[in-house]
A = this chain, B = another copy of it.
Amino acid sequence: MASMQDIADKAGVSRVTVSRVLSNHPSVKAETRKKVLYWVKKLDYEPNLIAQSLAGNSTNLIGLLVPEIAYPFFSEIIEAIENQAFYEGYSVIICNTRRSLEKEKNILKELKQRKVEGVIAVPVSSEHSAAAYQRFQLPAVMITKRMEGFSCVYISHYVGGQQIAKHFLNIGFQRIGYIGPTKDSTSAIKYAGFQNYLAANRVQLIDVIECPAPENMNASMVYQRVKAYAAGPGLRCEAYLANDDITACEAIAAFRDLGYSIPKDIAIAGFDNSLLAREISPKLTALAQPLEEIGRKAVEALLEQMSGNAPPRMYELESRIIARESTINFNSST
A residues neighboring B (CB under 8 Å): 46-51, 53-54, 59, 61, 64, 68-72, 75-76, 78-79, 82-83, 86, 91-96, 109-110, 112-115, 217, 219, 246, 249-250, 252-253, 256, 275-276, 278-283
Contacts of A59 in B (CB 8 A): 50
Q: Complex: how many Å from CA A78 to CA B249? A: 23
A103 to nearest B CB, angstroms?
8
Contacts of A91 in B (CB 8 A): 93, 95, 110, 114
Q: Are B86 and A75 in contact (CB under 8 A)?
A: no
User: Besides the contacts A82-B96, A253-B281, A280-B280, what 11 more A-B pairs have beta carbons closer than 8 Å?
Assistant: A49-B110, A49-B113, A49-B114, A69-B75, A69-B79, A72-B75, A75-B75, A82-B95, A93-B93, A253-B279, A281-B281
Q: Are A72 and B69 in contact (CB under 8 A)?
A: no
Q: Complex: how many Å from CA A115 to CA B53? A: 12
Q: Are A283 and B82 in contact (CB under 8 A)?
A: no
A62 to nearest B CB, angstroms?
10
Q: Are A283 and B253 in contact (CB under 8 A)?
A: yes
Q: Are A70 and B256 in contact (CB under 8 A)?
A: no
The verdict on A109 contacting B46 (CB below 8 Å), with A82-B96, A93-B93, A279-B250 known, is: yes
Contacts of A113 in B (CB 8 A): 46-49
Q: Are A78 and B69 in contact (CB under 8 A)?
A: yes
Q: Are B72 and A68 in contact (CB under 8 A)?
A: no
Q: Are B279 and A112 in contact (CB under 8 A)?
A: no
Q: Complex: how many Å from CA A109 to CA B48? A: 11
- Find the B residue at minimum CB distance from A110: B91
- Find the B residue at minimum CB distance from A92: B94
Contacts of A110 in B (CB 8 A): 49, 91
Q: What are 9 A-B contacts defined by CB distance under 8 Å?
A: A46-B109, A47-B113, A69-B78, A70-B275, A92-B93, A92-B94, A217-B275, A276-B279, A281-B281
Partner of A276, one of B78, B276, B282: B276
Contacts of A75 in B (CB 8 A): 69-70, 72, 75, 78
